[in-house]
Structure 1
């Protein structure tokens, strides 16, 4: 079994062979499929049920599904959760069902449209799984109206 590192610093099929806590920063970041669902505002009921809305964080580019200020996002959104191997289990309840971090944590394989499988970052959008063109920026929706924007998770 080869553990060679490719020119982009990522080992082939690392998610199958390496525990999450042993991943390097590049591999950890590469697990993100770019769907944008984790950047959607969620509503949580008193019983702990989490509802997904199509209301996106103000930093999410709703076409590319990427954070426009990712390296410095906490300067703008202090409550943005930093997902790490140590925080993953505590945040599992709100992660999308198709999230690679969740899938790998649960011992499952990545979806065929995941860029690490397909080799193409646009396949998440082509598969209709991302929020590209489906989300609305939070600056356009008053927080009291988020409930009107509850959606089923695109899968």
Structure 2
């Protein structure tokens, strides 16, 4: 994959609602942050990420094992839409859908910009190497022990030397 030229930046000046399905799907950088289990504090509404992943998440590839049928297998799996992007408080700050929805550009490490699907991992944005367990391996009452801060933050990533 090659770096995109400014002519190829289909997301520039466009609303999420105006993207076709292929464009929409290509915005996902495959970081896996949205596939981490999140907990909501009932009293404050605060969202807490954990290092526990959805049971369909493959931590080695940072992909869903059954993306086309994920909603049939995981009841609370959300298929993102432009409307949900503007309403979901738990989307990571690095999420391309969130960034484009807020009128921002994609960062250098996004595969559509870098031309390299590995750049999201090399920049430390993805969950690669950071998932502690699958939700099938951790009892619900132990999730609180898996709360982590990094998925809700934008890391100070630097371009790797090439």
Question: How many pairs are equivalent?
Answer: 144
How far apart in 2 are the matches of 1:48 and 1:106?
22
Q: Does 1:88 align with 2:110?
A: no
The answer for the alignment partner of 1:129 in structure 2 is 125
CA contact (8 A) 2:85 2:91 kept: no
Q: TM-score, normalised by structure 1?
A: 0.89
Q: Does 1:44 align with 2:40?
A: yes
After superposition, where does 1:23-34 map in structure 2 within 5 Å?
23-34=19-30
Q: Does 1:64 align with 2:56?
A: no
Structure 1 unaligned blocks of 5 or more: 1-10
CA contact (8 A) 1:96 1:153 kept: no
Alpha-carbon deviation of 1:96? Answer: 0.4
Structure 2 unaligned blocks of 5 or more: 1-6, 156-162
Alpha-carbon deviation of 1:43? Answer: 0.6
The answer for the alignment partner of 1:151 in structure 2 is 148
Runs of 4+ in 1 over 2 A off after TM superposition: none
CA contact (8 A) 1:59 1:69 kept: yes
The answer for the alignment partner of 1:53 in structure 2 is 50
Q: Which of 27-36 and 133-142 deviates more?
A: 133-142
- Coordinate RMSD, CA, aligned: 1.2
Q: Which of 70-79 and 34-43 deviates more?
A: 70-79
How far apart in 1 are the matches of 2:141 and 2:40?
14
Q: Which residue, 112, 115, 122 being the options, matches 2:111?
A: 115
How far apart in 2 are the matches of 1:111 and 1:65?
19
